[in-house]
Chain A
């Protein structure tokens, strides 16, 4: 609708609606919705009912200057890692601020575990960080063995170290593929999954489960090695280096990959320590902190290996760190198979364990970093308190530090280099 008379201006219906809404909101004492420069935008722009900001930081993120807008990444989007939602404040293509919003996969596993017996807790922790299931079971097994005052037989400890290193290899291998996928390379993820399936089939042969292994027990492991497992291990070991290197050749020197990762998301050692970043992400920043060396658990004090570190601390260094650790894990598996003793794989433990009242802390080096369990017993059949520290949950805090000033498209690329798993982040 147009008019020739400049005196008469017919307002746009959308603008009329906005004016009416603002008038109603002002009458109700609410903050304006579509904020002009410098005003608090509220949450309605990103789908949660409007309310005043609860904290200083929330006001900072959701206050828009002229030319800024809020973009919602996730929670259901193919390029995010699981149901991850991050609110990104952008100015054009440039990220101004990032606010991770968690809890879309929260299942209350800690609370579930407090109502389960010590044996069944080891099944509940499986789906937490679903790419490092063996590590998820290892830390509670260590903590409960400390609480109960029992030790797993030596052969069980060797089998534990073996399956845990196999798990680390396929988890790191998948990270290579996911990182390339988020940058736009579709092929490496397919080869990553081929390599991963070989390991998963092997672990399925020893544990009976394909993804949620439920293999660890308090005082040992569920099964001894069998012929199928050993033959699969032999075939896999003969080809694994070649397979990993083939995937590596596709990615490492790729010009696009290097352009998107070298110098991106650079985290210095002291920053990473202050943020609580651990595992390969911390070692990529030059800090040689590896729980396997720092507080040797299981049999890691009997194995020879060096803690690998990188200098740069950027996405590319985090990727190189993963490859170096895959090769290190293969080397560890060779040592474990050479030294593996004979004997039982399970100590004698009653079906329902009632440890004496006490506290215990069990920590392991998972593919994403320091994964630890703090368990309190009150003498009953279930833990009084069961606390899990998930490494990817804590590592996510680095994203709001790294992204400001970068392009929106790099948000996912930097996040993928930290390799978070939402099952662990949301517990």
Chain B
């Protein structure tokens, strides 16, 4: 199979930026969407194989049912449902990706959700398989899907209280924000003076990172042929 290898052309000839433009084939889909959904359709946008638009969060079920059942659209398969947090001073978004035999583009439906009142109707009535997607979105972002009959946490334990994929989420063991901040001497600013830090470590009963020879009570290594680095390792 040597024939597949050969001389390489210059790499700079490749990697040209490609234009982000709507494919010609998506034009029919865009006209259809305008016709069927009318005023529901907002912020239409396309890239090379995706058509996307925004809708009002409260109208999700009606819009997705139309997309699924209309004989010209037939977006029968829910490819993905994901939540996005646009920050504490903005909003959440639930993003649905749909697939249809009839159109050569993924359809992305973005539904805006208010951050102060994160509620949106469930689509488990449209696709049963949206259940795990919605449970994950509830678990990670704290979005409540009204009408979902099994909205439990799915990854975190049932007694967990926070929503870890929100932008304002801080891990409880993040040193600076933790109630236990300062337990480790490295976290206290006064120990940043290294001589004091060294004294403190020497005084403490806990094992230190000092070389073996300098640790109180330890015998200096006399073994021949060992480097300094080796001396610090436990034997």
Residues of A within 8 A of B157 (CB): 48, 103
With a cutoff of 8 Å between Cβ atoms, the chain B residues found around residue A29 in the complex are: none
In the assembled complex, the Cα of A91 lies from the Cα of B150 at a distance in Å of 23
B155 touches A274 (CB 8 A): no
Q: A150-B17, A397-B132 are in contact. Are A426 and B155 (CB under 8 A)?
A: yes
With both chains docked as a complex, state the minimum distance between the C-beta of B203 and any C-beta of chain A, in angstroms: 38
Given contacts A150-B18, A276-B130, contact A340 B4 (CB under 8 A): yes
**Interface flag for B15 (CB, 8 Å):** yes
Assuming the contacts A276-B127, A342-B7, asked whether A146 and B47 have C-beta atoms less than 8 A apart, the reply is yes
* Cβ-defined partner of A219 (8 Å) among B8, B15, B148, B164: B15
Known: A276-B127, A370-B79, A393-B132. A225 touches B4 (CB 8 A): yes
Given A234-B1, A344-B11, A348-B14, check contact A110 B165 (CB 8 Å).
yes
Tell me the nearest residue of chain B to A229, going by C-beta: B1
Is A251 in the interface zone, CB < 8 Å from B?
no
- For the complex, is B89 an interface residue (Cβ under 8 Å from A)? no
> Is B112 on the interface with A (CB-CB < 8 A)?
no
Tell me, in angstroms, the Cα distance from A108 to B104 when the chains sit together.
33
In the complex, which range does the number of interface residues on chain B fall in?
A: 35 or more
A49 contacts the other chain (Cβ, under 8 Å)? Answer: yes
**Do A347 and B158 touch across chains, with their CB atoms under 8 A apart?**
no
Contact yes or no, A54 B132, CB < 8 A? no
- In the bound complex, how far is the Cα of B133 from the Cα of A397, in angstroms? 11
A389-427 CB mask vs B (1 if < 8 Å, else 0) is: 100011011000000000000000000000000000011
Kindly list chain A residues whose C-beta atoms are within 8 Å of the C-beta of B108: 359, 361
| Interface membership of B6, Cβ < 8 A | yes
Residue of A nearest to B12 (CB): A348
Q: Do residues A361 and B17 form an inter-chain contact, with CB atoms below 8 A?
A: no
Q: How many angstroms from the CA of A359 to the CA of B180 in the assembled complex? A: 39
Contact of A363 among B8, B17, B79, B149 (CB under 8 A): B79
Q: What string of 1s and 0s marks CB contacts (under 8 Å) between A337-359 and chain B?
A: 10010111011110000000011
Chain A neighbourhood of B99, CB < 8 A: 289, 294-295
B191 at the interface (CB under 8 A from A): no
Contacts of A108 in B (CB 8 A): 164
Q: Is the CB of B97 within 8 A of A376?
A: no
Which of B48-56, B208-216, B225-233 makes up part of the contact surface? B48-56
Q: Cβ of B76 < 8 Å from any Cβ of A? A: yes
Interface string of B174-212 (1 = CB under 8 A from A): 000000000000000000000000000000000000000
Check A397–B165 contact: CB distance below 8 A. no
Check B76 against A51 for contact (C-beta < 8 Å). Answer: no
Q: Is there contact, CB below 8 Å, between B5 and A55?
A: no
Measured CB to CB, the closest approach of chain A to B165, in angstroms, equals 6
Chain B residue with Cβ nearest A398: B129
Chain B 141-175 residues near chain A, CB threshold 8 A: 148-159, 164-165
Docked pose: A103 CA to B158 CA in angstroms: 11
Is B41 interfacial (CB-CB < 8 Å)? no
The yes or no answer to A230 lying at the interface (CB within 8 A) is: yes
Contact of B78 among A233, A276, A393 (CB under 8 A): A276
**Residue from B2, B17, B131 in contact with A149 in the complex, judged by beta carbons closer than 8 Å:** B17
CB neighbours of B158 from chain A (8 A): 43, 48, 51, 54
Are A389 and B79 touching (Cβ within 8 A)? yes
Contacts of A349 in B (CB 8 A): 15
Q: Is B20 an interface residue (CB 8 A)?
A: yes
Tell me if B95 counts as interface (CB < 8 A to partner A).
yes
Q: Is the CB of B2 within 8 A of A230?
A: yes
A301 to chain B, nearest CB (A): 11
Return chain A residues, CB-CB under 8 Å to B150.
55-58
- B105 to chain A minimum Cβ distance, whole angstroms, is 8
Residue A327 is within 8 A (CB to CB) of chain B in the complex: no
A-side contacts of B85, CB under 8 Å: 385
A387 within 8 A of B: yes
Contacts A58-B152, A103-B154 given; indicate if A347 touches B14 (C-beta within 8 A): yes
Closest CB in chain A relative to B212 CB, distance in Å: 37
- Judge whether A134 is part of the interface by a CB distance below 8 angstroms: no
8 A Cβ contacts from B84-141 to A = 84-85, 95, 97, 99, 101, 104, 106, 108, 127-133, 140
Known A54-B158, A57-B149, A58-B150; contact A273-B4, beta-carbon cutoff 8 A: no
Question: Looking across the interface, which residue of chain A has its beta carbon closest to that of B136?
Answer: A393
Tell me if B9 is interfacial: C-beta within 8 Å of chain A. Answer: yes
B47 touches A274 (CB 8 A): no
- A257 contacts B by Cβ under 8 Å: no
Using CB atoms, name the residue of chain A closest to B135: A102
Within 8 A of A (CB), among B52-88: 52, 76-80, 82, 84-85
In the bound complex, CA of A55 to CA of B14 (Å): 55
User: Given the complex of chains A and B, what is the CA–CA distance between A418 and B48 in angstroms?
Assistant: 33
B16 interfacial by beta-carbon distance below 8 Å: yes
B-side contacts of A393, CB under 8 Å: 132
Check A343 against B8 for contact (C-beta < 8 Å): yes
Q: How far is the CA of A157 from the CA of B150 in the complex (A)?
A: 43
Would you list 17 pairs from A and B whose C-beta atoms are within 8 A, ordered by A residue? Answer: A48-B157, A49-B159, A54-B158, A149-B20, A274-B127, A278-B77, A289-B77, A342-B4, A342-B7, A342-B9, A344-B14, A347-B11, A372-B97, A374-B95, A387-B80, A389-B97, A397-B129
**6 smallest A-B Cβ distances: which pairs?**
A276-B129, A347-B15, A57-B150, A342-B6, A103-B155, A387-B82
Contacts beyond the supplied A347-B11, A361-B50: 9 A-B pairs with Cβ under 8 Å: A55-B151, A151-B14, A225-B4, A276-B78, A337-B4, A342-B6, A343-B14, A372-B80, A374-B95
